[in-house]
Structure 1
Amino acid sequence: MLGRYLILIDWNEEALPRRQAFVQERTGLRYCTRIGQGIIWTSAPDLVLPLPDGSGAVIGTLFPRHGPAFPITMEDKPWQEEMRTGAVLPTLRDRYWGGYILHTEREGMMEIARDPGGAMPCYFLQMPTGWAVSSDVDLLVEAGLLKRAIAWDQIPRYLIAKDLPNSATAIEGLHELLPGTSVLLKAGEQEVTRFWSPWDHVREAEQWDSKAAAERLRRTIDHCVASWASTSSAILSTLSGGLDSSIVTAGLSKAGTPFQCVTLVTENRNGDERDYARAMASSVGAPLLEGFYDHGDIDFSRSVARHFPKPIGQIHEVAYHALVMRLARDCGADAVHTGNGGDNIFYNSSSVRPFFDCIHARGIGGEAFATLRNIAKVTETSLPTAAWEALRAIPLMRRPYNWVRNGEAIADDVMADLQAKPLRHPWLDEQLRSRPGKSGQIAFLLRVQNHLEGYLREHGMPMVNPLMSQPVVEAALAIPTWKMLEGGRDRAIARRAYHDRLPPLVRDRRRKGSPSGFAMEVIERNHHEVRERLLDGELMRRKLLNGAAIEAALARGPAMGLSYVRLLTLLDMEAWIARWNGAGA
């Protein structure tokens, strides 16, 4: 379910009635609930689940961790009893999951908590006599609570680390509540605490059983897929034919909600995965839609991240989302489900880090040697080469995991200044030096956090990522990293979990397709406009970019290598800036 909400708490009682009328007129949010000194507006009446004692509410979609795969309602008696007898936030964390925020009030303060899975967005800002909290930044603008003002001091951070979540957004005065955290909002101050951490779910492997672990993972994924499916009447499942999207499709086949699959195709052979998608769709008896990327959907003035308060997109993704929306409307879907996040939680990496996790747990012996051999198979290299890479990595493994900065095309003085500033996140601050593989897996998990909100939100379409559900993430974190490589296959436990439910063509696939050919064509076909937008853009005017580096990348044309990814990111950022300056779409 796509939920929009706006919460206001104002300690000036006389101001609330005026704000209430103004907000309803400007935003179109029809459903209003009063709790203490706060008012909650939502886009649907069943988005608010009041706490039994009247102290607050859960806003969004909440599922039981155990039991039927359906959302909790006010009539659910076990829910009411648990909320009355236990501490609310720990009970939600341990007994429930979903896409929600928790809103409570006590002693003139408001506390907001965001679910660990991050499926429900949460932004907040301070008002003269209170606070505003919302699911999306446009609601805050529409309600007259937020001005369009870019926080230019934050833009360099997005240039070098756009995928590292941060509570500071790129809009002045606006903060994001990160997944698994809560914030206590008082008069004039805020206090953020963490109530969930991935490190709490990292397990030792003393009595490891791969078969049992695979079975637990399969049951967990199936339950989460079915739970999300229960909120829709017709689903469009994006299906590349890769492992992750195929697992979601396999789960949907058991969920009972009608669904169709869609695969997106490029003219470049590397982006044509129809053989795999057809095999998977056929195996579950689902209709398969096939759509081709269209260069006509590319609009360099329209950022794919335009509804986010942070520039995190790449301009070619506009075509992906435009095509998905056309097909979703054509088939009558009310939600789009994806396999996003699978590579992250299952740690689909070519790193030697799992080898060091294995040594810590098992010592130098047969299992460590087997892990090294599996790494060689996954990376399609020789065992001596893998051993040499592990040897070279020893100094790095003794240091904490550091987020890699992307300095490509950044002005030298800007990059020098950024190098002196640490890139931090609480999950990395808590890392265990003895678990470099788990540090890498958790860093992978961080990379998807900024993209969970859903790029289809502005179209009114829920974009559901079932593999990023809290129970699935926790189950994946409990799997030792070197066990993810069993048999020389990446994501080995996930493959084992669905071995009998995937066609051999998909299950045994070793290479993955990519729309990179289409993405490169976007630059090649629009070379002059790309050059003009980047070299005459706002980022250059503010002396944040290295113009010579951009010129050099463009001059290499088809031989530019991965520089095309950087150019697409910068193009989207320019469109995002224009939008938030009031000049763009």
Structure 2
Amino acid sequence: MSDLNPCAWLGVKGPHAPKTLAVGAWTLIGDVFNRRGPVLPRQANDPDDYERKLVARFWGRYIGVRFGAHSQLSSIIRDPSGALECIAWSDESLTIVASDAPDWLVKKLRPAWRINVARLSQALLDPFLSSGPLLLDGPVAIDPGTVQPLPLTVPARSIWNPADIARRSLAPPPSLEDAAASIRSAIDEAVTGLAGVSGPVAAEVSGGLDSSLVASSLTRSPSVQVALWLSAYGATPESDERAYVGVLGEALGIAPECVPHATGAMTEAWLERTSQGLRPGLNGLDRAHDMDWAARLDRAGLTALMTGKGGDSILLQRSTNDVFTDLWLAQGWRALFAPDVPRLAMENEVSVWSMVREARRHGRHGQHLPMRDEGFLVPHPLPTAHDWLADCDEFGPAKTLQIAGVLDSVSRHGPSMLTETVDVRHPMCAQPVIEACLALPTPLLTHGGRDRGLARYAFRDRLPEAIIERRSKGDMTRVYARMILDNLAVLRPWLLDGRLAALGVLDPSAADPLLTRESLIWRGAYSTIIVAAAFEGWVRAWERRLPPADQ
């Protein structure tokens, strides 16, 4: 605990206590790095010009506070990557800015917060609302890339929006070599910056492309020491990637430790324990694995882990018909002469004319982002999209989905059993990588008609051919499906007799026939079930934590 000024103090906990940095009138709390090649905004008569340039010149994992007259808090800023959660609320003369609201604080202050059932329903249906407004009425969530003035009743001002960065992709594209260089530089910058925050780190290597990109950057940075390379393999053939991990280790001169993916029985206690935070604990559902890795890092004396998570969405893992639609919207019939079009059609097992038909249909029907809909969630009559997705009409479906992927990147920073003891760092979710990829058109990101084609091309001289040219992808679906099937005795009453059903958010009569081994084996729906289980735990935890409505 330390004083920021005579009227403000900073309290921290966890494996990596944040630093503070004064930048003009702002005090930035967290990890802050200088951008290697910032693109500064140029807007005349912009009242937020200084703040826009601040988030362009610096990147990291930080919250900023600004003090005004008499050392009183006047504004809050949150970095564009959203790596640190940030909420604020006022309690009489006290204003609290926090990344969490632990039990002891809520019990002490007894704030008059309430669960917002409408937003709860929306967030269950819309996967891109997991990092949007809180599901609680009371505290104010500061969105990434915004400035929140005081008092908190004043609307926040957006100073960074992924759509603004994505508009650069509408300009004439750079050359393939320049685009590849921008991707390499951004990943190197993010990896080196985050890995250098503290002493020796551990690094996850799965055998897939994204963690391999991170590993290649780690091994090329002389200032970074990786004391443990860790890889988990599943019990099914498609989840066992040890062959690729071995090839990667030989090429990079590293020796990954391959360990079985830990599993364990679910209980109601751990389902609720997973969702104690400000948002449902979607990052903490693989609890046995998290606890196993936390113990392994603890034994190794390490408190930080580098991952490759987030690469799928921002590097464009989905090389689908939507990529051609983006190209069609930009070039019309000239899109047929693009060299990657035949390969893209072959990868999707459709004809070029089928892709043309889909592209022309998009102009009539507009954007449609995926929703969760397995037949047992009760739809809300007024669906609300995240603000970042409200201004995407000028983009094609692949670029829009990439922008939505930035929201997914924000949610990856959420708490879990692993983050309670280890500082988990996601360089693919960092601002340099986000901005470099958003600024490029999707057909360029899928160079060669391949998923993450540009990243493959950019790192072709750093990674073994087996990784670059790999067609398959590690798949844990059956592992997680088995986890749900083996725990139906816990999940059925948890959901059918739970609070989501009582609040009218989940239809128990529709869920009942789905929550059987026969139905799940035949239909799937595993991901929606486990997400609903996390939301159920969150509701139970917060209903117990908050005072009754009549108090």
Q: TM-score, normalised by structure 1?
A: 0.82
- Corresponding position of 1:344: 313
Out of 51, 54, 59, the residue aligned to residue 29 of structure 2 is 59
**Residues 167 and 515 of structure 1: is their aligned pair in 2 closer, same or farther, counting only changes over 3 Å?**
closer
Whose relative contact order is higher, 1 or 2, with alpha carbons under 8 Å and at least 6 apart? Answer: 2
Picking from 122, 141, 151, the partner of 2:105 is 141
Q: 1:296 Cα deviation (Å)?
A: 2.5
Q: CA RMSD in A?
A: 2.8
Question: Does 1:376 find its partner at 2:342?
Answer: no
In 1, Cα distance between equivalents of 2:281 and 2:313: 17
Q: Does 1:152 align with 2:114?
A: no
Q: State the match for 2:225 in structure 1.
A: 258
- Name the aligned partner's letter for residue 371 of structure 2: R
Q: Give deviations 1:111-150, integer Å, cap 9, x for gaps.
A: 1111111112211123223421112222882683455853
Deviations 1:357-407 (A, max 9, x none): 22343342365554432322333x14x2x5324413533344543444323
Question: Shift of the alpha carbon at 1:248?
Answer: 0.6
* Structure 2 counterpart of 1:48: 20
Distance 1:314 1:441, change over 3 A: closer
Instruction: Report the CA distance between 1:577 and its aligned residue.
Output: 2.5
Query: Which residue matches 1:461?
Result: 422
* Native 8 Å contact 1:409 1:545 kept in 2: no
Aligned match for 1:244, one of 210, 215, 236: 210
What aligned pairs does 1:11-410 form with structure 2 within 5 A after superposition? 30-34=1-5, 37-43=7-13, 47-51=19-23, 55-66=25-36, 88-107=50-69, 110-138=74-102, 141=105, 144-145=108-109, 147=111, 150-165=115-130, 167-186=132-151, 189-202=153-166, 203=168, 204-206=170-172, 208-256=174-222, 257-259=224-226, 260-296=228-264, 298-303=266-271, 305-313=274-282, 316-365=285-334, 368-379=337-348, 381-382=349-350, 384=351, 386-410=352-376
| Structure 1: distance between partners of 2:530 and 2:332 | 45
* Cross-structure match for 2:479: 518
In 1, distance between residues paired with 2:239 and 2:449? 25
Evaluate the alpha carbon distance shift between residue 469 and residue 310 of structure 1 in structure 2; reply closer, same or farther with a 3 A threshold: same
How far 1:172 sits from its partner (Å)?
Answer: 3.7
TM-score, scaled relative to structure 2: 0.87
CA spacing shift, 1:315–1:441, aligned 2, 3 Å: closer
- CA deviation string 1:328-379 (max 9, x = no partner): 2232222111111111111221432222322343342365554432322333
Question: Counterparts of 2:61 and 2:447 in 1: how far apart (Å)?
Answer: 33
Q: Does the 8 Å CA contact 1:131/1:185 hold for their aligned counterparts?
A: no
SS of 1:582's equivalent in the other structure is helix
Distance apart, 1:325 and its partner CA: 1.2
1:187-217 Cα offsets, whole Å, 9 max, x none, are: x623211101122223235253111210121
The secondary structure found in structure 2 opposite 1:328 is helix
Contiguous gaps of at least 5 residues in structure 2 = 38-47, 546-551
Distance 2:429 2:36 in 1: 17
CA gap 1:454/1:370 in 2 versus in 1, 3 angstroms: farther
Whole-angstrom CA distance in 1 between matches of 2:268 and 2:240: 25
Q: Distance in 1 between matches of 2:472 and 2:266?
A: 28
Q: Which residue of 2 aligns with 1:449?
A: 410
Name the residue aligned to 1:534: 495
Q: Are the aligned partners of 1:163 and 1:448 in contact in 2 as well (CA < 8 Å)?
A: no
Asked if the contact 1:121–1:136 (Cα under 8 Å) also holds between the matched residues in 2, the reply is yes
CA gap of 1:288–1:127, structure 2 versus 1, over 3 A, is: same
Contact 1:246–1:280 under 8 Å retained in 2: yes
Partner residue in 2 for 1:80: none
Check the 8 A contact 1:201/1:477 in 2, yes or no.
yes
Q: Which consecutive residues of structure 1, in runs of 5 or more, have no partner in the other structure?
A: 1-29, 68-85
- What is the Cα deviation at residue 457 of structure 1? 6.5
Write the distance in 2 (CA, Å) between the matches of 1:309 and 1:315.
13
Compute the displacement of 1:297 (Å): 5.9
2:535 paired with 1:573: yes
The percentage of aligned residue pairs carrying the same residue is 25
- AA in 1 matched with 2:21: L
Question: CA contact under 8 A between 1:355 and 1:368: conserved in structure 2?
Answer: no
Q: Are residues 309 and 264 of structure 1, via their aligned partners in 2, closer, same or farther at CA, if it must alter by over 3 Å?
A: same
User: d(CA) in 2 for partners of 1:553 and 1:234?
Assistant: 47
CA gap of 1:448–1:227, structure 2 versus 1, over 3 A, is closer
Aligned-pair distance for 1:45?
7.5
SS in 2 for 1:163: helix
Which stretch shows the higher mean deviation, 340-349 or 420-429? 420-429
Give the SS at the match of 1:441.
Answer: helix
- Residues 110 and 39 of structure 1, relative CA distance in 2, 3 Å threshold: farther
In 2 relative to 1, CA 114–191 (structure 1 residues): closer, same or farther, beyond 3 Å?
Answer: same
Contact 1:236 1:333 in 2 (8 A): yes
